[in-house]
Amino acid sequence: HVIQNAKSINPNEFQRRQIEANRYEYVSGDMFKSETIPLGDAYILKSIIHDWNDEKSIEILKSIHDANKTQMKKRITVFIIESIITSENKDNWEAHVLDIHMLSNLGAKERNLWEYNNLLKRSGYEFKHLYKTDGPVSIIEATNQE
């Protein structure tokens, strides 16, 4: 249902940004099963990793890695969009409230950059860049290690 909602939010958003229709595709699958994950150049994981404990998060990231490895894809990029606790926003009450909520309801947590870097390394990725936004979320860019 998430994919169907994404399609209906604003079907012209990609066109407005001048992104050709053959450059993206909405797909569904089981993020824990690499055989259901389609081949891609980039994957966007927004508000996903914080829903899971470390082991399940690693399983998700490895599934993407393994799906592309078996399909002989050389380089993939993963963008993780989350509330990332950094030294600049350590007093960000929204991130801490969300952290408590995630822990108490899902056994998950908000993570700092070091924790994300650790998850990435354990999953076969290399941290490339942290993009900070004006909002409560940041974007981590990582690529698979060849």
The domains of the chain are located at 29-144
Set 50, 65, 96, 129: catalytic member: 50
Active site residue 50: yes
User: Can you give the pTM of this predicted structure?
Assistant: 0.78
**51 Cβ partners below 8 Å, 6+ apart?**
102, 106, 108
> May I ask the CATH architecture of the domain 29-144?
3-Layer(aba) Sandwich (3.40)
Q: What is the per-residue pLDDT across 65-121, written as a single tens digit (0 to 9) for each?
A: 988 877 666 789 999 999 887 666 556 656 556 656 655 666 667 788 999 999 999
126 close to 145: Cβ distance less than 8 angstroms: yes
Q: Which two tokens stand for residue 85?
A: 């606790």
